[in-house]
Amino acid sequence: MTMPAPLSADAWLRQLFQSQAAAKGGVVRRKKRDIERLLGWDRFRFELKRRGYHAVENAGQVVICCNQDAVRIIQ
């Protein structure tokens, strides 16, 4: 059995930001380790900043707000 080829960084980003939730200005969640493995934090931050998006990390997950609205942490 052959393993599928891993996604390229560009393909992963395309898949992320073209998802239904992202396209509607919603929220998506990805594993922190996938971001580190496929993109690296510098590229990820660049892509967020370029789009005006925000993200928060908790428990190995990264929640990405695919809009330019303010983010508020609630106790």
Q: What is the pLDDT of residues 30-52, one digit of tens each?
A: 999 999 999 999 999 999 999 99
| Residue 54 burial (CB count, 10 A) | 17
Model-level pTM? 0.87
Task: Please give the Cα distance from 23 to 43 (Å, whole number).
Answer: 20
Residue 66 reports pLDDT greater than 70? yes
DSSP run (H or E) holding 49? helix 41-51
Task: Please give the Cα distance from 62 to 37 (Å, whole number).
Answer: 14
CA atoms within 13 A on the CB side of 4: 3
pLDDT at 25: 97
pLDDT at 32: 98
**Structural domain boundaries in the chain:** 25-75
